[in-house]
């Protein structure tokens, strides 16, 4: 099972420009979906990016989106996406974890 850990950046309305810049730098395939395409055509967010993904020739993936108006908080504008190629219901997802137990305690961060 291959897993990927990808950055997911949040922007205050300029995700399209940022992802287009990253595409110029890294190359690859850029896919953009707007809030309007996702069923919110009559809002101020209609042309903003609900989800964007750049897959580079070096097998890096960068994802980004515009936060809804008024919700952008600089310093908290990122997350990490962990994904894998295992189908749902495969019976192996989380099979190393025992219910009610923590497989590894959280590490202390200095």
Are 80 and 8 within 8 A, CB to CB?
Answer: yes
DSSP-assigned beta bridge partners for residue 55: 29, 61
Q: Model confidence at 99, in pLDDT bands (50, 70, 90)? A: low
* pTM tops 0.95, yes or no: no
Instruction: For residue range 53-84, list pLDDT tens digits in order.
Output: 999 998 889 999 998 877 767 766 666 666 66
- The side-by-side arrangement of strands in the sheet containing 29-34 is 29-34, 49-55, 61-66, 3-11, 78-84
């Amino acid at each position: 099972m291959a897993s990927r850990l990808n950055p997911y950046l949040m922007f205050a309305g300029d995700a399209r420009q940022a992802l287009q810049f990253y595409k110029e730098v890294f190359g690859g395939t850029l896919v953009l979906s707007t809030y309007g395409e996702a069923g919110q055509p009559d809002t101020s967010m209609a042309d903003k990016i609900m989800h964007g993904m750049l897959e580079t020739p070096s097998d890096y993936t960068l994802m980004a989106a515009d936060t809804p108006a008024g919700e952008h908080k600089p310093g908290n504008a990122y997350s990490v996406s962990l994904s894998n190629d295992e189908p749902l219901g495969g019976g192996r997802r989380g099979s190393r974890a025992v219910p009610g137990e923590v497989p590894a305690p959280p590490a202390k961060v200095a």
